[in-house]
Structure 1
Amino acid sequence: MQTLQAYIHDCLQPYNQATLHISDLSIQRGYGIFDFFKVQQGQPMFLDDYLKRFYESARQMELPVPLDTTELKEVIRQLIQANQLPLSGIKMILTGGYSESGYDIGKPNLIITEQPLTLPDQTIVTNGLKVITHSHVRELPEVKTINYTMGIRLLSNIKAAGAADMLYQQNGIVSEFPRCNFFIVTRDDVVVTPDKNVLSGITRKNVLQLARQKYKTEERAVTIADIAQAKEAFLTSTTKRILPIVQVDDLVIGNGKPGEITNELLADLIALEQTQL
């Protein structure tokens, strides 16, 4: 990390020297937004979609972004050029700014970091994941805030259950994971994803578009009962792409193995990523 560059305070500087003052509202109150995208062979993946979501999150949180889209793209280009990483993730954070009161919004601080990225091991794709559920709905789920309190607090529960992640649900209706979207495939090959109380994931969007080319798709309420009847289930995210889910709590999905449609959509997504290079 010592050789990597980060963007903060309007310039690139060494990552290990990039700091914020303790008065920043992200520290005082956990107030801020972020977004994250993948970079392969020096090319940001689906950058326009991620920037659109970043600016919309900032708007909803009343945080003016100090750079316009063109300027932000140029900073990202410079960061990628400076770090020369073959596979990486770039995180853009917009904080609540330095606040004299520790409560009022100040001038937002824009931070952009780039770190090496490792994609999921093939063993996970082959075997699938077990996940567990928890009763919770994120505050402002359509906004990508820096508030991950519940997800982090539940890490010990996930580990104790021998699971890979925690799927949020409320009154039997599931929504999302702390960092991923959720899909099922019904017995008649309909690809379904929850439509409420979820972040509009970019990978979620791409998977829906790919699935529509071959299957019927639905964005609607998904219940625990739907999961019990599902033939397949999987999660999607920027860093995980598509990972099959073979168990939710005590419910074994389908035959307990990753499904054909899940694997097919993963191959399609990888092919779509290649068109960005």
Structure 2
Amino acid sequence: MSSDHKLYAYLHDEILPLDSAYLHVSDLAIQRGYGIFDFFKTHQGQPLFLNDYLTRFYASALLMGLEVPLSEEELTSVLTRLIQMNGLTDSGVKMILTGGYSENGYNPGPPNLIILEQPLTLPSEAQLATGIKVITHEYVRELAAAKTINYSMGIRLIQQVKAKAADDVLYHQQGVVSEFPRSNFFLVTKDNILRTPAQEILKGVTRKNVLELAAKKYKVEEGTVTLEDIARAKEAFMTSTTKRVLPIVAVDGQPIGDGKPGAVSLDLLQDLIQLEEAQLEKL
């Protein structure tokens, strides 16, 4: 995208230039970090799996006691207009719902809805060929089923991740694995069973799609996954909107399987790409 490409955002019932979109400092997103969001991607200017993301957005708002000021039909219309105005081929669209302007910095006000769109970069061929390394950290997100804007722990651990020459951090509690700050976790056992955590996680849309794709070829299990399970696994990977299926080759410095991206992981990545292409054909 050229540096002079003008982007637009949605705020306060209008679409306006991105550099003119501001919140007042009294918003609870600023004062207390209170709010929710969701994020989907577009390809060829079309949103992928939008209904799933909208369903989760409204569910997160309900869990946090926030009311989305637009109906799903109205929000879809705004998203369509914004995507058309920005004219990006491949992008990520973020919908943010804040706690609103607060008179005392604690009590919520009418929520503010913000929609942003930016160019999107997917994992490179080099990343897919080599896989990524992760570390672990004992932590469970509060209200994990809601996609809140609170990423304090993940952000605080960035320097620790870098110091250990890793790419991300996997949360666990007393050895029971949950999720990454922005992705879901899968492993593949030596007999090609796919296993993924079921508790204390945000159920990702890509996770859902991969589970459905995998069930056509492999045995799939949602349940308890431990650090010991990871140590015995043949493969591991993460899933997310922006990462798709990204192989993990080491956890806490210990290789997974042969320390290379596995065949099952890469096979599911191709299945997911084909599903995305099929989704586009329907739009």
Q: TM-score range by the shorter chain?
A: over 0.9
Q: Are 1:252 and 2:276 counterparts?
A: no
Letter in 2 for 1:65: V
Distance apart, 1:64 and its partner CA: 0.5
Distance apart, 1:276 and its partner CA: 1.6
Pick aligned residue for 1:181 from 154, 173, 184: 184
Q: Distance in 2 between matches of 1:175 and 1:149?
A: 17
Q: Distance in 1 between matches of 2:155 and 2:172?
A: 17
Distance apart, 1:251 and its partner CA: 2.0
Q: Distance in 2 between matches of 1:137 and 1:60?
A: 17
Q: Distance in 1 between matches of 2:234 and 2:69?
A: 47
**Cα pair 1:130 1:165 within 8 Å, conserved:** yes
Distance apart, 1:170 and its partner CA: 1.1
Residue 170 of structure 2 is matched in structure 1 by 167
Q: Are 1:91 and 2:87 counterparts?
A: no
Q: Tell me, what secondary structure is at the counterpart of 1:276?
A: helix
Residue 242 of structure 2 is matched in structure 1 by 239
Q: Distance in 2 between matches of 1:185 and 1:129?
A: 16
Q: Distance in 1 between matches of 2:18 and 2:201?
A: 32
**Cα pair 1:184 1:191 within 8 Å, conserved:** yes
Residue 160 of structure 2 is matched in structure 1 by 157
Per-residue displacement from partner, 1:114-170 (whole Å, max 9, x unpaired)? 000011111000001110000100111110000000000000000000000000011
Q: Distance in 2 between matches of 1:239 and 1:58?
A: 22
Per-residue displacement from partner, 1:171-209 (whole Å, max 9, x unpaired)? 111110000000000011101100111100000000000
Letter in 2 for 1:241: R
Pick aligned residue for 1:224 from 222, 227, 231: 227
Q: Distance in 2 between matches of 1:178 and 1:90?
A: 18
Letter in 2 for 1:250: G
**Cα pair 1:43 1:276 within 8 Å, conserved:** no
Per-residue displacement from partner, 1:208-255 (whole Å, max 9, x unpaired)? 000000000000111111001101000000001010001000321111
Q: Are 1:6 and 2:9 counterparts?
A: yes
Letter in 2 for 1:224: L
Pick aligned residue for 1:139 from 137, 142, 152: 142
Q: Tell me, what secondary structure is at the counterpart of 1:130?
A: strand
Tell me how large the CA RMSD over aligned residues is.
0.8
Residue 148 of structure 1 is matched in structure 2 by 151
Per-residue displacement from partner, 1:86-118 (whole Å, max 9, x unpaired)? 100000000000010111110000000000001
Q: Are 1:55 and 2:58 counterparts?
A: yes
Q: Are 1:24 and 2:27 counterparts?
A: yes
Letter in 2 for 1:73: T
Q: Distance in 2 between matches of 1:93 and 1:74?
A: 16
Pick aligned residue for 1:207 from 207, 210, 214: 210
Q: Distance in 2 between matches of 1:39 and 1:210?
A: 21
**Structure 1, unaligned stretches of length 5 or more?**
none
**Structure 2, unaligned stretches of length 5 or more?**
none
Q: Distance in 2 between matches of 1:47 and 1:99?
A: 31
Residue 123 of structure 2 is matched in structure 1 by 120
Q: Are 1:273 and 2:281 counterparts?
A: no
Q: TM-score, normalised by structure 2?
A: 0.97
Task: State the aligned residue count.
Answer: 277
Q: Distance in 2 between matches of 1:250 and 1:47?
A: 37
Distance apart, 1:275 and its partner CA: 1.1
Letter in 2 for 1:229: R
Q: Tell me, what secondary structure is at the counterpart of 2:107?
A: coil
Q: Tell me, what secondary structure is at the counterpart of 2:60?
A: helix
Letter in 1 for 2:174: N
Q: Are 1:104 and 2:107 counterparts?
A: yes
How many percent of aligned residue pairs carry the same amino acid?
A: 62
Letter in 1 for 2:74: E
